[in-house]
Amino acid sequence: MTPLRRKMINDMQVRNLAPSTQRSYIHYAAQFAQYFHRSPADLTLEHVQLYQLHLLNDRKLSPQTVNQFVSATRFLYLTTLAKPWGTEHFPHVATPQTLPVVLSQKEVLHFFKHVPSMKYRAALMTCYAAGLRVSEAVRLQIPDIDSQRMVIRVQQGKGSKDRYVMLSQRLLEVLRAWWRAARPPLWLFPGSNKGHMSAGSLQLACRDARRLSGIGKRITAHTLRHSFATHLLESGTDLRVIQVLLGHSRITSTAHYTRVSNSLLVNTVSPLDTALAQSPNQKKR
């Protein structure tokens, strides 16, 4: 390991960056250096821009992926190498605003019927019933399920923050049935080598269940989280409550779901209807 890589890892650990973020930053910094066959310490902002264009134009990578590279090099140069450059020298690529895929409640229940394993079904139901990210669901431990207070403790979610979410009575019944069948000692959803289930294996189970269900929409574990938030909004739950349940630091992130709430759309009266209702001709009829 080079001294620069070691220093970058130390800088990330001191700032308590998530392990996945650390792996991502090291990956992109290494690819950047490999492309120019030089240490990043010997490269300039011009090289950063050239490589960014290479990722966009030659490799045709998504804006989200290119922005991960930008974040990695920004940390490398401004923090680890302490270059006297501003953040404005590391512009992010504009990303298209897309709407999340949302299942109806009937589709959710139909989907669960086709999850082939009791363990995976319980884990995916947890993603939907509590609005958890896949990384949060697979890392749940037995003590995190508090049936006395009817809450689930989410430890170190995104942004290294703990939070509580509601524990559905129906979900509690599912989790108890799973526990009686498997008796997991620590992790609620164990994987191999005494660790917890991997996020990848849960996503694979989700993909298989979507195929078996025949639902045409693209479904991932995160789709269940999107559906959780949208269904709460449509049932009249306050947006700030949903923000807390999802673990969003900004209300603007949660407000994104107002764009896909069907009830908000169909219950909004068109100005054409109000205009015609006030028309004298319409009243005579």
Per DSSP, the three-state class of 190 is strand
Task: Considering the candidates 7, 158, 207, 256, report the single residue annotated as catalytic.
Answer: 158
Active-site pick, 74, 133, 139, 196: 133
Q: Would residue 133 show up in a list of annotated catalytic residues for this protein?
A: yes
Q: Can 47 be counted among the known catalytic residues?
A: no
Q: What is the rounded distance in angstroms from the CA atom of residue 34 to the CA atom of residue 103?
A: 43
Q: Is 121 known to be catalytic? A: no
User: Considering only CA atoms, which of 15, 55, 11, 5 is closest in space to residue 160?
Assistant: 15
Residues 8, 25 contacting (CB under 8 angstroms): yes
Active-site entry in 163, 225, 226, 231 = 225
* 154 DSSP β-pair partners: 163
149 is annotated as an active-site residue = no
* Residue-by-residue DSSP string for 15-47: TT--HHHHHHHHHHHHHHHHHHTS-GGG--HHH
Residue 35 annotated among the catalytic residues of the structure: no
Kindly tell me the sign of the dihedral angle through the C-alpha atoms of 242, 245, 246, 250.
positive
Q: Is 257 among the residues known to form the active site?
A: yes
- Catalytic residues, by residue number, are 133, 158, 222, 225, 248, 257
